[in-house]
Amino acid sequence: MKLREIGEFGLIDRIASRAARGPAVRIGIGDDAAATEPAPGRLILTTSDMLVEGVHFDLSFTDPYRLGRKSLAVNLSDIAAMGGEPRDFLLSLAIPPRLPVEFLDRFTDGMLSLADEHGVTLIGGDTCRSPAGLVISVTLHGDQRPERVVRRAGARPGDRLFVTGTLGDSALGLELLRRGVREGWAVERHLDPSPRVAAGLALAAAGLATAMIDVSDGLLADLGHILEQSGCGAWVEAAHLPLSPFFRERAGGETPDPQLLALAGGEDYELLFAVSAEREGEVASVLRGTGTTATAIGSFTAGSGATVVAGDGRELALPRGGYNHFSSGR
């Protein structure tokens, strides 16, 4: 089926008819604006991400179902990094005429499947024609009690540095996709990441994380944001980076510098966070039952910037940046 056969409002109705209505939604899709009612004593958290064909995804190896899931996952990860609970979202699409309605149906299937997993409601958005590629914009709202919101600022010298899950899988998955591989652990991690919402909520509820960010642009780049906001430095122990068995087995044969993928590859959507040294022993118990674990990979220091050290104490010369949209790219 072609888009011109159903038109803009037909597409909107097609999506709206499948969106559930959350308990906080007072006015949903169908009016000029949605209306939601936050719980008393909660702060509203809002995040927005845009995904552009040819920049963030390649339709030659990204299927619409997982693209829908990932489009929401990147926003869920931002709310998780604040220790928030996601509630509802807006979806806007700029659609090239070549895309069939069936593609958009599968995209919606994927997005709403992840929304259901996290109890999130689609409450509105916009559609328009794109003269070039597909553009996806998602704005997600969440909430949290003010005293539980975790920011990038808050790390202090002596705090321990933790990261959830494993690093480098998504970057390895992208390398494999570019080489024609279409399945496997790393490919799945790149195409369908798992936002650590439960972990973020648990850390916030326990008051354990003093600063936190999600790993989207790469560990070193995202750590740099914590350091800048917190006014301190950090050292990272390369030997302690959590790497999946798949990464350890395959990365060496796919890239000349596997360590660089883990440190700067990006799109892992794990949580990078600071914990006071006195409470680092609580991390495992707090995260129990959230579906992920966390690994201590270093400490925060006085000064500025991050230093990466090898197992023998040598400082490693590695780039400090991650992905930057306005540089030459990865």
Tokens in use for 187? 């490919």
pLDDT band, residue 320 (cuts 50/70/90): low
Q: What is the tens place of the pLDDT at every residue in 182-194?
A: 999 999 999 999 9
Tokens in use for 21? 């209505």
Contact 212, 83 (CB under 8 A): yes
State percent of the chain over pLDDT 90: 78
pLDDT at residue 1, as a whole number: 74
pLDDT at residue 9, as a whole number: 64
Lowest mean pLDDT among 57-71, 238-252, 270-284, 304-318: 304-318
Provide CB contacts within 8 A for 306, sequence distance 6+. Answer: 220, 223, 224, 227, 233, 234, 235, 236, 320
Q: What are phi and psi of 313, to 5 degrees?
A: 90, -5
Cα–Cα distances in angstroms (integers) from residue 290 to residues 16, 65, 164, 202, 284, in the given order: 31, 25, 11, 8, 10
Is the pLDDT at 99 greater than 80, yes or no?
Answer: yes
**Per the confidence metrics, is the pTM higher than 0.75?**
yes
User: What's the chain's Rg over C-alpha atoms?
Assistant: 20
For residue 315, give the DSSP letter: B
Tokens in use for 29? 């899709």
In the chain, what are the domains? 3-21+43-148 (3.30.1330.10), 160-309 (3.90.650.10)
Rounded CA separation 114/204 (Å): 22
Mean pLDDT of the chain: 91
Q: What's at 66, amino acid-wise?
A: R
Question: Beta-carbon neighbour count of residue 48 at 10 Å?
Answer: 13
pLDDT at residue 6, as a whole number: 72
Is the pLDDT at 208 greater than 90, yes or no?
Answer: yes
Q: What is the tens place of the pLDDT at every residue in 247-288?
A: 999 999 988 889 889 999 999 999 999 999 999 999 999 999
- The sign of the dihedral angle between the CA atoms of 80, 86, 90, 92 is positive
Cα–Cα distances in angstroms (integers) from residue 22 to residues 17, 82, 116, 119, 183, in the given order: 14, 22, 10, 8, 35
For residue 83, give the DSSP letter: T
258-284 burial, b at 16+ Cβ within 10 Å, e below that, comes to bbbbbbbbbbbbbbbbbbbeebbeebe
Q: What are phi and psi of 225, to 5 degrees?
A: -70, -40
State percent of the chain over pLDDT 70: 94
Q: Give the H/E segment covering residue 94.
A: strand 85-95
pLDDT at residue 14, as a whole number: 78
Is the pLDDT at 118 greater than 60, yes or no?
Answer: yes
Nearest CA to 218 among 157, 185, 174? Answer: 174
Tokens in use for 136? 């996806």
pLDDT at residue 160, as a whole number: 98
pLDDT at residue 325, as a whole number: 41
Q: What are phi and psi of 211, to 5 degrees?
A: -155, 150
Q: What is the tens place of the pLDDT at every residue in 154-191?
A: 999 999 999 999 999 999 999 999 999 999 999 999 99
Tokens in use for 172? 């390895």
Rounded CA separation 329/318 (Å): 17
